[in-house]
Structure 1
Amino acid sequence: MTEHRHGEGEVMGRFGRVIGLVAAGALAGGALVAGGVALADGLPWSGGEHVSYVKERRTIPAGYLSTNVVCPQGQQAVGGGYAHLGEHDRERPVIAEVNAPSNTSGKPDEVNNAWSFLFMNDKEETTPIDVYVICAPIDG
């Protein structure tokens, strides 16, 4: 049986590579954080204190539910989503076919002041769901 021993230089070489990878990861992470801060500074509103969200509860019947959540007057939708509160059925899940920004005017060039959803419930039972919109002041 042959014994293999790592020389001190080989161990230090591996240790140096690990330290190099950790340092590279830290630099990349720092760049992503700084990039996120720069992106947040470039968003079309000023100051996070004016960002708000609206949460409403809906009940999805058997079949379809088309609904939206509207921002307060003077604000635009910058995000949205939903939280499924009912029991999950892998065989017949509730499906969100639409989860997107929209506007209540129906005019394509208007500011998106709402978040729209279209849910499909293939079960016999109704299912509760919370729907959200994240809103920020309209520039201008």
Structure 2
Amino acid sequence: DFQMPERFELHYTDSEDEQERPVMIHRALLGSMERFAGILIEHYAGRFPAWLAPVQARIVPVSDKHLEYAGQIAEDLRARGVRVSVDERSESVGKKIRAAELGRFPFMLVVGDREMDAGEVSVRSHQDGELGSMAVEKFCMLLDS
């Protein structure tokens, strides 16, 4: 780089005691962080793997009566280090599921009467589709794998 030494007014004294301007050699392994983030977004088309996604799972309660259970599941997952959010809107479950799909969350956890009675969550993966009902512990193991 010939510009940086000039901007910083860098000089060195050569073997003949004369002032010389150095040539600066530098590099960035990944370029700017912004460029690297852009490359990741483009590569994954916004569908990040769970370890990279800002929100790893979206909890979708079937109706308003399942909101409390969804909140308990969210607290449990957050305590285990999972980045999770709950769709608390009073919309139909179909609209909530569609919004979660458009949100490109790696996992969607649907909770209704069956899941509440069994103490489980119904898991859908953005990549693999329906994974069935499972306990929170099993879902966390799935995230870690």
Band of TM-score, shorter chain? under 0.3
TM-score, normalisation: structure 1: 0.26
Which one has a larger percent helix, Structure 1 or Structure 2? Answer: 2
**TM-score when normalising by structure 2:** 0.25
Q: Which has the higher contact order (CA 8 A, sep 6+)?
A: 1
